[in-house]
Amino acid sequence: MPELPEVEITRLSFAPRIQGARTVAVRIGKPLRWPLGCVSGDLVSQTVGEVARRGKYLWLALERGGLLLHLGMSGSLRFTDTPGPPGPHDHFDLATTQGTLRLTDPRRFGAVVWSPSMGTGAAGKLLAGLGLEPFDPAFTGAFLKRALRGRRVSIKQALLAGDIVVGAGNIYACEALFDAGIDPRMRSGRLSLARCEQLATAVRKTLARALELGGSTLRDFRDAHGLAGEFQLHAEVYGREGLPCSRCGAPVRRIVQGQRATYFCAGCQRR
């Protein structure tokens, strides 16, 4: 589910309300991708600090260390005064004096991992290989050109890999490549500087638009208030196989790259 816009929207929807709260209790459901890395008692009776985001990860700072959270493919976070009894897919609750943060994740590709700090322990290891934030001023066409140099993977896969720039997942990588008019199959190391500039701009523009629209709700994404997004209603190519391209009318194509679906318009997106 959650790419950068969904994760950021989730963060914004609960960060101001949880900050300064005192943790009261922890409930663990079924195992997630990795073990928590501490006993639940270690998380109790602490003041919650800032909620930060790095790529698609969230960092919830506590007095002693903090929690790194990832929503995987199907995760979502709710923050509420009245969480109700946990359902079968509710695998982590952090009860605080200001409400309960609950992770719901049917597929359990998500994670909640304790670390001493964002840069050390398990969190440090998971965050170490991440590329630039897309809204970092250092993420420019020139940077992209340099980072892609010599790489033979397709540009679509290079965007998804997250070691150059983070945040664009399958939906927004497809949409950004459409916006930039670049064929997703193109060898990434072959992009000209001009096209790297177009792509860097398109990635930022696509993610910013998704943020404005509340993210994409394909089936179950909700922010921490329970609100759905509507970017998916504005997607130009993602999920639109066979439908006419809004620019040229040619049918949108679906191919598979690195075991993921890619949607694109062969008329508008060129090598």
Residue 121 region by backbone torsions, left for phi larger than 0, else alpha for psi between -120 and 50, else beta: left
At 11, is the secondary structure helix, strand, or coil? helix
CA atoms of 111 and 72, how far apart (whole Å): 7
Residue 63 CB, shortest distance to DNA, in Å, is 26
Beta strands in the chain (DSSP E): 23-28, 51-54, 57-61, 66-70, 76-80, 90-96, 99-104, 111-115, 253-257, 260-264
Out of 142, 193, 208, 261, the residue judged to bind DNA by CB under 7 A: 261
- Is 129 among the residues that bind DNA (CB under 7 A)? yes
- Is 269 among the residues that bind DNA (CB under 7 A)? no
> Which segment (11-19, 137-145, 163-171, 176-184) binds DNA by CB under 7 A?
163-171
Strand bridging mode 76-80 / 90-96? unpaired
Cβ-based nearer residue to DNA, 40 or 257? 257
Cβ-based nearer residue to DNA, 70 or 204? 70
Residue 204 CB, shortest distance to DNA, in Å, is 17
Q: List the beta bridge partners of residue 264.
A: 253
């493919």: which residue's tokens? 73
Out of 11, 17, 53, 70, the residue judged to bind DNA by CB under 7 A: 70
- Is 224 among the residues that bind DNA (CB under 7 A)? no
Catalytic residue (one of 11, 53, 56, 222): 56
């597929």: which residue's tokens? 107
Tokens matching residue 251? 């049918």
Q: Residue 34 in contact with residue 114, Cβ under 8 Å?
A: no
Cβ-based nearer residue to DNA, 33 or 205? 33
Catalytic residue (one of 2, 5, 134, 184): 2
Out of 22, 27, 151, 209, the residue judged to bind DNA by CB under 7 A: 151
> Which segment (1-9, 15-23, 78-86, 131-139) binds DNA by CB under 7 A?
1-9
- Is 33 among the residues that bind DNA (CB under 7 A)? yes
CA atoms of 117 and 225, how far apart (whole Å): 28
* Annotation marks residue 54 as catalytic: no
- Is 126 among the residues that bind DNA (CB under 7 A)? yes
Sheet holding 111-115, edge to edge: 51-54, 57-61, 66-70, 111-115
Cβ-based nearer residue to DNA, 19 or 257? 257
- Is 84 among the residues that bind DNA (CB under 7 A)? no
Out of 115, 170, 198, 206, the residue judged to bind DNA by CB under 7 A: 170
- Is 86 among the residues that bind DNA (CB under 7 A)? no
Residue 111 CB, shortest distance to DNA, in Å, is 9
Q: Residue 179 in contact with residue 204, Cβ under 8 Å?
A: no
Give the CA distances from residue 94 to residues 9, 23, 27, 31, 101, in Å, rounded to whole numbers and listed in that order: 19, 7, 7, 15, 5
- So which residues are the catalytic ones? 2-3, 56, 260
Binding residues for DNA (CB under 7 A):
1-3, 6, 30, 33, 55-57, 70, 72-74, 88-89, 106-109, 126, 129, 150-153, 157, 160, 162, 169-171, 188-189, 215-221, 258-261
